[in-house]
Chain A
Amino acid sequence: DAKTTQPTSMDCAEGRAANLPCNHSTISGNEYVYWYRQIHSQGPQYIIHGLKNNETNEMASLIITEDRKSSTLILPHATLRDTAVYYCIVRGTGGGNKLTFGTGTQLKVEL
């Protein structure tokens, strides 16, 4: 699976958009980009995933660059409850389902 690089931490003002970047320059053609988050002490929560096209759901938007070497998770209107560690994971479609979590980005949403 391709390695990902994320900033260690980010701050965001409540009500503003939170844009979390992820680099995955070694991604291959059949690998998806997944985003999960872990709010303190809770189980990880799936947010969104994509292959090539941008994706949007009720939680967030995922913007994947044309060359697929990086992506950005956008929380359009961050709230205090969005404070969490956000994990960007790249995973292919073969060889089993396990996801490998890196260190993620600690997002702190403040008033």
Chain B
Amino acid sequence: NAGVMQNPRHLVRRRGQEARLRCSPMKGHSHVYWYRQLPEEGLKFMVYLQKENIIDESGMPKERFSAEFPKEGPSILRIQQVVRGDSAAYFCASSPEFSGANVLTFGAGSRLTVL
């Protein structure tokens, strides 16, 4: 059973380009979470999604960032018109249907570098 798969592992973009980060949750997991970790900083929650629904986007920047988790396929974190401050590691996590204690399984992360 493969874990949470994220790709690309490394992505380089120039300012103004778009970045798309993909996350395939563990088999059987229907909940996906995105976190961002800026250099030398902690993990910050961005968004929590279930299939076809955004449940909590309280950590998402108001502009340029969007996330989706379609019925089929991976979850996508999209960053439009990237700026240097978007350079960070983006981690995806997944969990099964909520049932009390909650354990998130994290992927290895996607590292975005904006030139």
On A, residues with C-beta under 8 Å from B are 32, 34, 38, 41-46, 49, 51, 91, 93, 96-104
- Mark interface residues in B1-30 (1 if CB within 8 Å of A CB, else 0): 000100000000000000000000000000
Among residues of A, the one whose C-beta sits closest to the C-beta of B37 is: A38
Q: Across chains A and B, which 4 residue pairs bring their CB atoms closest together, nearest first?
A: A43-B106, A101-B43, A97-B102, A44-B106
Contacting pair B42 A97 (CB below 8 A) = no
Contacting pair B104 A97 (CB below 8 A) = yes
Among residues of A, the one whose C-beta sits closest to the C-beta of B98 is: A97
- CA A102 – CA B44 in complex, angstroms? 9
Query: Is the CB of B100 closer than 8 A to any CB of chain A?
Result: yes
- CA A97 – CA B35 in complex, angstroms? 13
On B, residues with C-beta under 8 Å from A are 4, 31, 33, 35, 42-45, 48, 55-56, 89, 91, 93, 95, 98, 100-109
What is the interface of chain B mostly: helix, strand, loop, or mixed? strand
Q: Chain B residues with Cβ under 8 A from A100's Cβ? A: 45
A93-B56 contact given A41-B89, A104-B42, CB 8 Å threshold: no
Query: 16 more A-B contacts (CB under 8 A) besides A32-B101, A99-B45, A99-B104?
Result: A38-B43, A41-B89, A43-B93, A44-B43, A44-B91, A44-B106, A46-B103, A46-B105, A49-B101, A49-B103, A96-B48, A100-B45, A101-B43, A101-B45, A103-B42, A104-B42
Among residues of A, the one whose C-beta sits closest to the C-beta of B4 is: A43
